[in-house]
């Protein structure tokens, strides 16, 4: 099989590159390195089943030869990134999705869109099921990401219905693990890096907002199962074990034996108060559920951040 992954040098995309290489696929990784890193794929350079193409998928995509699968993972994905790159985020969600779908259509390939739990916005239904339409502020600062992904879902379903393409949509909930960036801007890498450095741990609001964290290997396995399934409608992939942000900060303090103090800052605009996936659909259709416990996942992630920070000293 020959699989193309946009955003393949990013956190999730690079893990997908590894996974598909291990499955025996030839992998084409496309990334413009706006938020991705060459370090994430450096170990694959020289592998005769891996090819890196530096390209912005918001521009027309041309690739020689057969393509069996197109996985569209290109996009800034943390609030830090999409608030700094709002136009690029909207373009990769619209033009990038259009170009990726066009490539898949031309090659007769399966297409998988990386969507997000952010399509549910600040949800009024809890936990979130795939049939919930969401509660999104389209003109708020987070709207550039939320609406880009909602548009991308609509575009994907239009290609499925009009062109009879085999398309998949994965709604990804908070994911963590090795290869996350030091300056990612999201809670878990922020807390870990602050704790390791002995800096104050920054919690926004009072910390009562909840998230559900899924380890990267579980997510990747769920994505693969969705890709090869017969399901065309959106599927949540995430860990339903809900935790408050304050509890997460306290867990990381304990895990690192850090003397850092927790400080509280104003909650950002439209920050979701709750986030928890209903994974009934993934369990029944894909026979998938997360297997890595939070304790094990946090230990593996902590070691990665400790090693990375030590290298950067």
The 10s digit of each residue's pLDDT in 202-245 is 999 999 999 999 999 999 999 999 999 999 999 999 999 999 99
74 part of a folded domain: yes
CATH number at 222 reads 3.40.50.720
185/92 same-domain check: no
32/75 same-domain check: yes
Active-site residues: which are they? 145
160/58 same-domain check: yes
* Per-residue pLDDT reduced to its tens digit, 247-299: 999 999 999 999 999 999 999 999 999 999 999 999 999 999 999 999 999 99
123/180 same-domain check: no
33/81 same-domain check: yes
201/127 same-domain check: no
228/112 same-domain check: yes
250 part of a folded domain: yes
State the pLDDT at residue 312.
80
Q: Which residues does 48 contact at the CB level (< 8 Å), separation at least 6?
A: none
16/127 same-domain check: yes
280 part of a folded domain: no
171/181 same-domain check: no
288 part of a folded domain: no
Please give the average per-residue pLDDT across 168-189, as a whole number.
Answer: 96
- C-alpha dihedral, 138 to 141 to 146 to 147, nearest 10°: 40
pTM beyond 0.75 = yes
15/88 same-domain check: yes
Owning domain of residue 206: 176-210+241-275+293-311
60/137 same-domain check: yes
State the pLDDT at residue 247.
98
225/204 same-domain check: no
pLDDT at 313 over 90: no
CATH number at 196 reads 3.90.25.10
283 part of a folded domain: no
Total structural domains in the chain?
Answer: 2
284 part of a folded domain: no
* Per-residue pLDDT reduced to its tens digit, 99-152: 999 999 999 999 999 999 999 999 999 999 999 999 999 999 999 999 999 999
């Amino acid at each position: 099989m020959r699989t193309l992954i946009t955003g393949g040098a990013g956190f999730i995309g690079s893990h997908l590159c590894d996974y598909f290489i291990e499955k025996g696929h030839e992998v084409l990784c496309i990334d413009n390195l706006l938020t991705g890193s060459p370090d994430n794929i450096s170990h694959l350079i020289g592998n005769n089943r891996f090819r890196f193409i530096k390209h912005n998928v918001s521009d027309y995509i041309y690739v020689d030869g057969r393509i069996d699968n197109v996985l569209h993972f290109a996009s800034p994905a943390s609030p830090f990134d999409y608030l700094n790159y709002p136009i690029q985020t909207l373009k990769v969600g619209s033009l990038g999705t259009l170009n990726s779908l066009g490539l898949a259509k031309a090659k007769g390939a399966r297409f998988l869109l990386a969507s997000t739990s952010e399509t549910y916005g600040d949800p009024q239904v809890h936990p979130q099921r795939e049939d919930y339409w969401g509660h999104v502020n389209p003109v708020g600062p987070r709207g550039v990401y939320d609406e880009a992904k909602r548009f991308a879902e609509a575009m994907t379903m239009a290609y499925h219905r009009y062109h009879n393409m085999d398309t998949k949509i994965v709604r990804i909930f908070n994911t963590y693990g090795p290869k996350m960036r030091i300056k990612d801007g999201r809670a878990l890498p922020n807390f870990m890096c602050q704790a390791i450095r002995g800096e104050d741990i920054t919690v926004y609001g009072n910390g009562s907002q909840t998230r559900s964290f899924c380890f990267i290997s579980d997510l990747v396995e769920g994505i693969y199962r969705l890709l090869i399934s017969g399901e065309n409608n959106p599927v949540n992939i995430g860990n339903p074990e809900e935790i408050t942000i304050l509890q997460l900060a306290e867990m990381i303090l304990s895990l690192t034996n850090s003397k850092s103090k927790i400080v509280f800052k104003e909650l950002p605009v439209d920050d979701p108060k709750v986030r928890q996936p209903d994974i009934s659909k993934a369990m029944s259709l894909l026979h998938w559920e997360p297997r890595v416990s939070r304790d094990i996942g946090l230990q593996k992630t902590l070691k990665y951040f400790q090693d990375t920070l030590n290298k950067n000293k």
